[in-house]
């Protein structure tokens, strides 16, 4: 006989997760931050105040934006052969304004669409602020075939504001790392440089027409999650950020997400 207390306890310590199934059969399980077997409570707040576009974005809002888009990035069902991973840099200070960079990127995408016609599907891009105060764009261009004849020199001519580099990303977590730059997350030393982001900025943009995998919300007990993690079928990754601990007066790592990605099937 199942008692009410038993049901309450099982729900209390259940781990909410999202199970994602990709077109190649692989699966990923994304879990929220877990503390002592129970998820941290979500605090509901009142209505958000109106946005003053003249105010700078705070580092807390920046971190929240990256974490919110991280789940959306994992749901993208992209075929590596059909993607181009392109980094765009800014060469002159007069161009180094967020609104100008965002507008120029739209022009760049227009040039790409004009070049490949109907083969263009969409893009996902991340506007990063480097330590020297200059913006830097990481983007993924997605096409419907793998024989797109565009070189790094072609992209450089279409961009026109600086150097262009093309990357190779081999796994799905590498894609999210490329678009959110976990290693550089919130580690911007000069706060004056960080204010280059306006309050309404969208550091990450994902085209709505990019293909997505099937996902569903599930509940896992700590025992079930531990069994999956130790089964050897999944690779374990962590999405984390650093925060300042006033008690120790040092920076500490805080885990935001735990991700299990199914290994390639033989």
Nearest-5° angle of CA 40, CA 44, CA 45?
135
What percent of the chain is modeled with pLDDT above 90? 41
Give me the pLDDT at residue 33, please: 64
Q: Residue 38: is its pLDDT beyond 80?
A: no
Give me the pLDDT at residue 45, please: 46
Task: Give the pLDDT mean for 17-35.
Answer: 84
Q: Which of 58, 261, 44 is nearest to 170 (CA)?
A: 261
CA-CA distance, 84 to 169, in Å (whole number)? Answer: 9
pLDDT tens for each residue of 44-92: 345 555 656 668 888 878 878 887 888 888 899 988 889 999 999 999 9
Nearest 5°: phi and psi at 245?
Answer: -95, 110
Give me the pLDDT at residue 18, please: 92
pLDDT tens for each residue of 228-252: 989 989 988 887 766 666 777 777 7
Which residues fall within 8 angstroms of residue 2, CB to CB, at 6 or more apart?
none
Q: How confident is the model at residue 151 (pLDDT cuts 50, 70, 90)?
A: very high
Instruction: Provide the pairing of β-strand 15-21 with 27-32.
Output: antiparallel
Task: Give the pLDDT mean for 225-230.
Answer: 90
Q: How confident is the model at residue 187 (pLDDT cuts 50, 70, 90)?
A: low
Extended strands (E) in the chain: 15-21, 27-32, 34-35, 38-39, 83-89, 120-129, 135-143, 164-167, 204-206, 214-220, 234-245, 250-262
Between 264 and 235, whose confidence is greater? 235
Give me the pLDDT at residue 188, please: 53
Rg (CA), the chain: 21
Q: What is the mean pLDDT of the chain?
A: 81
pLDDT tens for each residue of 95-126: 999 999 999 999 999 999 999 989 999 999 99
Task: Give the pLDDT mean for 188-216.
Answer: 85
Between 190 and 195, whose confidence is greater? 195
CB atoms within 10 A of CB 173: 18
The domain ranges of the chain are 10-37+55-262
């Amino acid at each position: 006989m199942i008692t009410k207390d038993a049901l309450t306890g099982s729900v209390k310590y259940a781990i909410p997760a999202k199970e994602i199934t990709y077109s190649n059969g692989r699966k990923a399980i994304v879990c929220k931050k877990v503390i002592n077997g129970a998820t941290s409570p979500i605090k509901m707040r009142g209505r958000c105040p109106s946005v003053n576009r003249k105010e700078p974005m705070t580092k807390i809002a920046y971190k929240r934006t990256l974490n919110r888009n991280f789940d959306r990035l994992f749901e993208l069902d992209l075929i590596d052969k059909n993607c181009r991973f392109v980094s765009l840099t800014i060469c002159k200070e007069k161009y180094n304004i967020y609104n100008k960079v965002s507008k120029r990127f739209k022009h760049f995408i227009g040039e790409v669409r004009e070049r490949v016609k109907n083969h263009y599907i969409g893009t996902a891009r991340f506007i990063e602020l480097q330590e020297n105060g200059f913006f830097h764009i990481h983007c993924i261009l997605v096409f419907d075939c793998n024989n797109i004849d565009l070189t790094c020199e072609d992209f450089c001519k279409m961009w026109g504001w600086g150097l262009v580099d093309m990357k190779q990303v081999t796994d799905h977590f590498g894609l999210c790392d490329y678009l959110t730059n976990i290693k550089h997350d919130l580690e911007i030393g000069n706060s004056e440089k960080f204010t280059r982001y306006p309050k309404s900025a969208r550091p990450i943009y994902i085209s709505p027409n990019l293909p997505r995998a099937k996902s569903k919300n599930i509940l896992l007990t700590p025992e079930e999650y531990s069994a999956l993690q130790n089964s050897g079928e999944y690779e374990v990754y962590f999405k984390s950020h650093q925060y300042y601990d006033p008690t120790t007066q040092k920076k500490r790592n805080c885990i935001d997400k735990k991700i299990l990605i199914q290994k390639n099937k033989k």
